[in-house]
Structure 1
Amino acid sequence: MSFDPILLLGGSGAIGRQTVRALRATYPDVPLLIGGRELAKAQKAAAEIGCAQGVAIDAAAEDLGLGEQKVSAVVVLYKDHSLAALRFAQSRGVPHLSISSGVFEIAPEIARFMNAPDAAAIVLGYEWLVGATTVPALHLARSFSQVHDIRIGALVDEQDVGGPAVAADFEHLSHLMPRALTRRDGDYIWREGDEMKAVFSALDGSEIAATGFSSIDVVGLASATGARNVQFDLGMGISSSRRKGGAFSTEILIELAGLDPSGQTLHSRHAVVHPGGAAPLTGMGIALLLERLVGLDGKPPVAPGLYFPYQVLDASHYLTRLAEEGGQVINL
């Protein structure tokens, strides 16, 4: 089966290259358009990737400067303040996935969807590492009859710096997001001041100083499970693998508390680990989303709608792919 190219805006960066790597691992012949403001840079990246074309993007143009070029999906790997790519995707009736907005600034995208709900699928890919928290957490929540509390601790190794686009996104979010969206006793609150400070244990038991982070994971997990307490904390330091003398990795600590099927108290603690760091895990999530959005796997593409990543991704398939990449979900 042949497909129109997938347009990757910002595809020449670190996350873009990891997305291509993950996508091509299963679909080596899928055509790609690597879009950027600088044509030469996009063309160079496309040549290195293979089976790809570099194109210059004009965000001021309704067609992004692509003319009649057909695409099967649009992926935005940087903060698109103008929503030019979303408008383009809706006008072409193709799925749209972006990964860089904060939970506090998604109203423009929701408004676009509400005014054209039947145009195509739109995925708000702002979950931490694009599904790496929510997919395992909701899979683990199946052991509970009721989930009362969810606490997430994401550890980024200080050597896992990513590319310039990642740095720009974090600077943007840090500047505009001084408080942390949290669910406490059934209410959504914004932690601030000393309440932003937190500590969680890494995979090896080391205590990690962390700060509350307004990840959209909070509202997704609260809505999906009914948990009355959901908290997300982000820490930067030395990952457990590097503390043991190896290379850095990325860690996500997931704690769930509630009741088991018999009504007894149940508490679990797991770690999601990827040996390559944050970028490969992010790229894997994007690739698996594209597989479903476009229908690369031969199944019907995702219907028009507004989605969290975990609503598109199949947990069993995700966890199998994670294991194939050397990642793990470890019971602590």
Structure 2
Amino acid sequence: MSNDSILLIGGAGHVGRWTARSLRSVHPDVPLLIGGRDRARAEQAAAELHAESVVIDDTAADLGLGDRPLRAIATLFTDQRLTALRLAQARGVPHLSISPGIIELGPEVAAYMHRPQAAPVVLGTEWMVGGTTAPTLAFAKAFSRIDDIAIGALLDEQDAFGPAAEADLERQTRTMPVALARQGGAYVWRAGDELATSFRAVDGTEMAASTFSPNDVLGLASATGAPNVRFSLAVGVSSSRRRGEPLSTEIIIELTGTDHAGGALRRRHAIVHPGGQMPLTGLGVALVLERLLGVGGHPPTPAGLYFPYQLIEPDMYFPRLAQAGGKVMELEAASPSPGGGGSLA
């Protein structure tokens, strides 16, 4: 790997620390630059992660870095100025952001369209940055046709969000009054009472949820052709904590369609991590960066506009998920709800 640094903007936060740990677990010598607006916080995180720190000035075209060489930039909070993306394009290095919601993609897409050959740009706001899409596409291989994809994400109410992640979730769930789903082959915006839904957690508990629209909805619909795709988010007590154990995060993935012999098929799986949401998010960021930079046997990713699922292959994801302490569970499939309704139960 090059001696040029991977810049993690917001690297002192929960996601940044887990990203650094995930990268270092496989590439212990990778040069990391922890960037933040708070010098003391960035320095403390850098010392813990055996990295360097830098104060970021998002009003400066060079972020205050001067001519310091970079290999990639990951922006782990909402960059409303797009300064980091423009710097990445100017330097010809990959850029990944994980915060803009599905109705906030315009500025990044426009910046890419203006300079499409400059560098790879990743629209990274998938749930856990590929933690849903990569497994779903692996499970989809058992189907010849998928009619329905229902995702249920359960965040434990005691999970540590961090201020940036909490602000993103607040913005994307409470200040955006609509959510995107695919229904009957058409993209539809659900609002008001239509947002209310539910799904069964790993332990079978029915969780009240709300329709949510990370980029997974677009990616899974496009990759599989499924006419019905919906994503439900619940914040409450995780299955492990109901058993008296520490909290966990859960992703329930339910697929319905036809198998390769022409028979009806319904599969239900869960991705679970006992450390909560941040280890999975950090893992996703790390895997995207590795693929962008061409480490681990892959060539570097060429200039283009990408979602994480286009870069994270299942054979990459599952071993690293296990190494990080997560697991895949096959669950009993539920009975189909009439008309492909809004519940996973």
TM-score, structure 1 as length reference: 0.97
8 Å CA contact retained: 1:177, 1:214? no
- Counterpart AA for 2:68: Q
What is residue 38 of structure 2 aligned with on the other side? 38
What is residue 56 of structure 1 aligned with on the other side? 55
8 Å CA contact retained: 1:254, 1:269? yes
CA drift at 1:175? 4.1
What is residue 341 of structure 2 aligned with on the other side? none
What is residue 215 of structure 1 aligned with on the other side? 214
What is residue 108 of structure 2 aligned with on the other side? 109
CA drift at 1:177? 1.3
Deviations 1:183-219 (A, max 9, x none): 0101111111211111100001001000010111111
What is residue 67 of structure 1 aligned with on the other side? 66
Helix, strand or coil: the match of 1:176? coil
8 Å CA contact retained: 1:210, 1:234? yes
8 Å CA contact retained: 2:2, 2:71? no
Identity among equivalent positions (%) equals 57
Unpaired stretches in structure 2, ≥5 consecutive residues: 332-345
Helix, strand or coil: the match of 1:117? coil
Deviations 1:98-137 (A, max 9, x none): 1001000101101111111111111111000100110000
Counterpart CA distance in 2 for 1:222 and 1:199 is 21
Helix, strand or coil: the match of 1:108? helix
CA drift at 1:325? 2.1
What is residue 224 of structure 2 aligned with on the other side? 225
CA drift at 1:62? 1.1
Tell which deviates more after alignment, 41-50 or 206-215: 41-50
Deviations 1:230-262 (A, max 9, x none): 010000111111111111111000111111111
TM-score, structure 2 as length reference: 0.94
CA drift at 1:164? 1.1
What is residue 16 of structure 1 aligned with on the other side? 16
1:323 equivalenced with 2:292 (yes/no): no
CA drift at 1:18? 0.8
What is residue 235 of structure 1 aligned with on the other side? 234
Q: How many residues align?
A: 331
8 Å CA contact retained: 2:152, 2:252? yes
CA drift at 1:24? 0.6
CA drift at 1:176? 3.3
CA drift at 1:298? 4.6
CA drift at 1:149? 0.5
Counterpart CA distance in 2 for 1:54 and 1:324 is 27
8 Å CA contact retained: 1:62, 1:88? yes
Counterpart CA distance in 1 for 2:116 and 2:247 is 42
- Counterpart AA for 2:183: R
Tell which deviates more after alignment, 294-303 or 4-13: 294-303
- Counterpart AA for 2:62: D
- Counterpart AA for 2:13: G
CA drift at 1:295? 2.0
- Counterpart AA for 1:28: P
Counterpart CA distance in 2 for 1:192 and 1:2 is 48
CA drift at 1:174? 2.8
- Counterpart AA for 1:211: S
- Counterpart AA for 1:268: R
Tell which deviates more after alignment, 162-171 or 244-253: 162-171
Unpaired stretches in structure 1, ≥5 consecutive residues: none
8 Å CA contact retained: 1:9, 1:34? yes
Counterpart CA distance in 2 for 1:297 and 1:118 is 24
